[in-house]
A = this chain, B = another copy of it.
Amino acid sequence: MAEEETAVKEKHADELFKEFREVSVTEFFRKNRSHLGYSGQLRSLTTVVHELVTNSLDACEEAGILPELHFEIRQLGTEHYKFKARDNGPGIPVNHIPKVFGTMLAGTKFHRHIQLRGQQGIGVSGVTLFSQMTTGQPITVRTCTGDNKVNEVKLLVDVTKNNAEIVETKQYSGYWRGTEVEGELKGVAYNTSERGPYEYLRRTAIANPYTEITFTDPEGRKTVFKRSSNKVPKPPMEMKPHPKGLAVDDLLNFAKAAEARHVGSFLSSTFARVSSAKVNELQKLVTFDLNKNPRKLAWAEAEELIKAFDKMDFMAPSSEGLRPIGETQIKNAVLSILKPEFEVVITRPPKVFSGGVPFQIEVAVAYGGNAGRPATGEQEEGVTSKAEIMRFANSTPLLFDASGCALTKSVNAVEWKRYGIKDFDNSPLTIFVNLLSMYVPYVSAGKQSVAEEEEIIKEIKMALMEAGRKFQIYHSRMRREIEKEAKMNTLLKYITELAPALSKLTGKDEKKILKDLTHLVKEKLRIEALEEELEDDGGEEEADTTFKEEGE
């Protein structure tokens, strides 16, 4: 610190506020690009892949199209790459192109209660911004909605206005439907590590088995991740929010925009599982008339409603709008690669977290075989595999920010020792967790890490504990198999020595005695094993009292 002391003159507020200014959201993210995932050379490149791939998949699924994606990365110079992403999606109407690629917080997803990968209308404009920030070049968009008119637009982002700056537009005819985006990037790096584009695409293919992805890497190698299912995924469905976990503010926001004339009909038309019988039940729990106009609902009244909801029983949210990958698909896709000794997939019933948002958890646990990731570097004796956690949100791989993520924390919060996994970190384990929701509470706009919502953590833990119990049964069976074999071997050895002696004593045939004794030993061991197994199955599952059983 400088030692000379100067008297500090106080400044007046007016002087300080001379600099007061407003900035655009693009300017904000331009300055804070790490919020969008643009930090680090590899991560920045993977983020570009992620944004374009999730957009293509969302578009295909919404339109009911079996997705076919092409992604190409070419190196142009040091830290300088070119990318090209093409899909067979529905295409983008020409008038929407500037907003989709040049305006942040604009899109089709923000307002709808629907399970999609994108949710904020930031990501793709972020790609344009990042490309332009590092190379000064516009991105090129070619898109056709199937009307034989291909629109080609080169555009930049006008940062101060949060709008696209169109550099060039063309229209020509072409028999094609889909969207192609290409652009240049500097300050990025490609590699094949587990956080790179290749691994991102591989995991995308795993979690989206109806998708075919062709990837051309900077060395010109082409990889085709073939689809393992030809079933067109059902388009995501609008899901009404569930009354459980709804916040007062959310309820009032819905009420303000309501078209229904009465609070009662507003509630049953806006929220899931609110039947007219439930409205009657509700009326007894609140102090005001539910025939009131919903647009005139006061904060205190909304609070009364929320408190009443908390006391009431509702059916769990419907799983209709949620699109899990599915047990068979996970087994086919993930587990066939890992060839594990043990595998289990658990799909939990849908639950809600704060805001009345339905969500659902799928987990898979694979043990042995190629499960886990190879241990590298210095290791304790005998450790060859490390546990690996594969995180997904709405079937989108999360490769970064693992340590701060609710999914990682849930996995680490399970007491694996209880289930016979003594040293979790150094076990040949792959834990697969997929969080499905129409709204995933990410920690930041970079969407690589899920915030610690209590209900989500609880559900993941429940799923993993269930998987853990299954592993335990397998594990103790395996242990018993080994013990049984050792026991049998000891006994058989003893019998082999005993048989000749008994034969001499009794005068009976040695072979017959040996056969009878062997049978006796095997029978005894079988009964012991059965008894132990019966003991294992006696453990009760933890009770889940949040919802009544779904009655449909």
Contacts and interface: CB of A to CB of B under 8 A. Distances in A.
Contact of A451 (B16, B34, B62, B90): B34
Interface in A130-165: 132-137, 145-146
B16 A108 contact: yes
A14 interface: yes
A11 B63 contact: yes
Interface in A11-34: 11-14, 16-17, 19-25, 27-28, 31-32, 34
A136 B252 contact: yes
A20 B93 CA distance: 11
A405 to B, nearest CB: 9
A529 B345 CA distance: 65
A32 B132 CA distance: 27
A429 interface: no
A10 interface: yes
Nearest to A134: B249
A258 interface: no
A1 interface: yes
Nearest to A327: B1
B34 A110 contact: no
Contact of A444 (B6, B112, B445): B445
Given A13-B91, A92-B13, A404-B404, A21 B452 contact: no
A299 interface: yes
Interface string A318-333: 0010001011100000
A62 B249 contact: no
A6 B401 CA distance: 39
A18 to B, nearest CB: 8
Contact of A443 (B8, B34, B90): B34
Nearest to A7: B232
Given A19-B108, A90-B13, A445 B35 contact: yes
B20 A106 contact: yes
A225 interface: no
A326 B13 contact: no
Residue of A10, A27, A92 most packed against chain B (CB within 10 A): A10
Nearest to A59: B16
Contact of A19 (B112, B320, B401): B112
Residue of A11, A111, A299, A443 most packed against chain B (CB within 10 A): A443
A121 interface: yes
A480 to B, nearest CB: 30
Given A11-B90, A403-B403, A403-B404, A441 B39 contact: yes
A437 B213 CA distance: 43
A24 B444 contact: no
A449 B404 contact: yes
Contact of A22 (B10, B14, B106): B106
Contacts of A92: 13, 17
Contact of A324 (B1, B132, B451): B1
A422 interface: no
A470 interface: no
A64 interface: yes
A489 interface: no
Nearest to A40: B452
A504 interface: no
B35 A99 contact: no
A248 interface: yes
A235 interface: yes
Contact of A32 (B59, B106, B135, B445): B445
A453 interface: yes
A120 interface: yes
A404 B233 CA distance: 35
A414 interface: no
Contact of A249 (B2, B14, B120, B136): B136
Contacts of A137: 299
A89 to B, nearest CB: 8
Given A10-B90, A35-B443, A39-B451, 20 more contacts: A1-B326, A13-B63, A16-B63, A19-B108, A20-B108, A21-B106, A21-B108, A21-B110, A23-B121, A25-B25, A25-B28, A27-B110, A28-B110, A31-B120, A32-B441, A34-B441, A35-B442, A39-B452, A136-B248, A187-B247
Interface of A: 1-2, 5-6, 8-14, 16-17, 19-25, 27-28, 31-32, 34-35, 39-40, 59, 62-65, 90-93, 96, 99, 103, 105-108, 110-112, 120-121, 132-137, 145-146, 187, 231-235, 247-249, 252, 299, 302-303, 320, 324, 326-328, 401, 403-404, 439, 441-446, 449, 451-453
14 contacts: A8-B235, A9-B64, A10-B63, A13-B93, A16-B108, A19-B111, A20-B96, A20-B106, A28-B105, A28-B120, A32-B442, A35-B442, A35-B443, A404-B404
